[in-house]
C-alpha cells in the first residue's frame, strides 16, 4: 500500500537536464484512504510517511531545492478533527524523521505563517530549521499555512514598511521579500491525484515553471513516478516567451526608466 524505501543501489535514470527547484502539490491522501478502506487520518499518515522517501529520491538526483505544499491557508475550513490530525502529524514527523534528514544533509525551511500553531510546536519547527540550517545537500521548503496571494501581500507590506522608493522596486528586489529569498525560481510543479489546479501555490515563483500532473495519489507517489516526471521535464523545450532554441534561464525584465 505505502511505497517501499528507496533502494540504495538503484540505478538512476540518466537525464540531460534536471530542474533546480521542484515544487509538489501533495494531493490525494483522502482518496487513497477511501480506495484502501481506511480513515482519512490514516491516509494523511501514509502521506507523511512518504515524504522522507520522496526527499531522498530528489536528493539522489541532486535536485537542490524541493518545495512541498503541505497545508494551505484555505485548508482551515476542513473538519476540525482532520485539521487537528494534520497538525499533530507535524510533531510526529519531526520526532520520527528529523535526525535522519539532518544526517542526510537536508536543510529544512518553513514557508507560511506558524502563528496558528501552539508555542511548543512552533518552537520544535524553529529548532528543526536551526539544526539543519547549514546542510547543503538539498533544501526542503515545507509550505504549511501558506498561500501564494498571502505571500505576495506580505512582501508588499514589508516593502512599504521598509520605505523602499518606488523606482528601486524591480523583480530582483521583490523576490528578496518572498519566503523563497535566495532560492531559484521553480522549474517544475508536480501535482498528484490528477488535479490540474495551482491552488494558490507559489504564484510568483512559478511564472516560467513546467507543469506535470499524475493520477497517482500522494502516498503511492514513488521513485518510479518521480523518474517519469523528471524524464518528462527533460524533454520539455523551455523558451520563456521567446522563439527558436530552448533557453536555460528566464529572461530578465527590462528596467523601467523615467
Active site residues: 27, 75
Residues 107 and 77 sit within 8 Å (Cβ to Cβ): no
Query: Which string of DSSP letters, residue by residue, matches 88-137?
Result: HHHHHHHHHHHHHHHHTTEEEEEES--TTS-HHHHHHHHHHHHHHTT--S
Residue among 245, 250, 248 at smallest CA distance from 204: 250
Rounded Cα gap, residues 121 and 157, in angstroms: 27
Residues 23 and 140 sit within 8 Å (Cβ to Cβ): no
Amino acid at each position: 500500500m505505502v511505497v517501499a524505501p528507496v533502494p540504495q543501489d538503484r540505478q538512476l535514470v540518466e537525464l540531460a537536464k534536471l530542474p533546480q527547484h521542484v515544487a509538489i502539490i501533495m494531493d490525494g491522501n483522502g482518496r487513497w484512504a477511501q480506495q484502501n478502506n481506511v480513515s482519512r487520518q490514516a491516509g494523511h499518515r501514509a502521506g507523511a510517511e512518504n515524504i522522507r522517501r520522496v526527499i531522498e529520491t530528489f536528493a539522489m538526483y541532486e535536485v537542490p531545492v524541493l518545495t512541498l505544499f503541505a497545508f494551505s491557508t484555505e485548508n482551515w475550513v476542513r473538519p476540525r478533527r482532520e485539521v487537528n490530525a494534520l497538525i499533530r502529524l507535524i510533531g510526529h514527523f519531526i520526532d520520527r524523521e528529523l535526525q535522519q534528514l539532518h544526517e542526510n544533509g537536508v536543510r529544512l525551511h518553513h514557508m507560511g505563517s506558524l502563528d496558528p500553531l501552539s508555542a511548543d510546536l512552533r518552537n520544535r519547527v524553529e529548532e528543526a530549521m536551526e539544526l539543519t540550517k547549514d546542510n547543503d545537500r538539498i533544501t526542503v521548503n515545507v509550505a504549511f499555512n501558506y498561500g501564494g496571494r498571502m505571500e505576495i501581500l506580505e512582501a508588499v507590506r514589508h516593502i512599504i514598511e521598509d520605505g523602499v522608493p518606488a523606482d528601486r522596486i524591480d523583480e530582483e528586489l521583490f523576490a528578496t521579500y518572498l519566503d523563497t529569498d535566495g532560492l531559484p525560481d521553480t522549474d517544475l510543479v508536480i501535482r498528484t491525484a490528477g488535479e490540474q489546479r495551482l491552488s494558490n501555490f507559489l504564484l510568483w515563483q512559478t511564472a516560467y515553471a513546467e507543469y506535470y500532473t499524475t493520477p497517482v495519489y500522494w502516498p503511492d507517489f514513488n521513485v518510479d513516478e518521480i523518474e517519469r516526471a523528471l524524464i518528462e521535464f527533460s524533454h520539455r523545450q523551455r523558451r520563456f516567451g521567446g522563439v527558436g532554441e530552448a533557453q536555460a534561464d528566464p529572461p530578465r525584465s527590462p528596467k523601467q526608466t523615467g
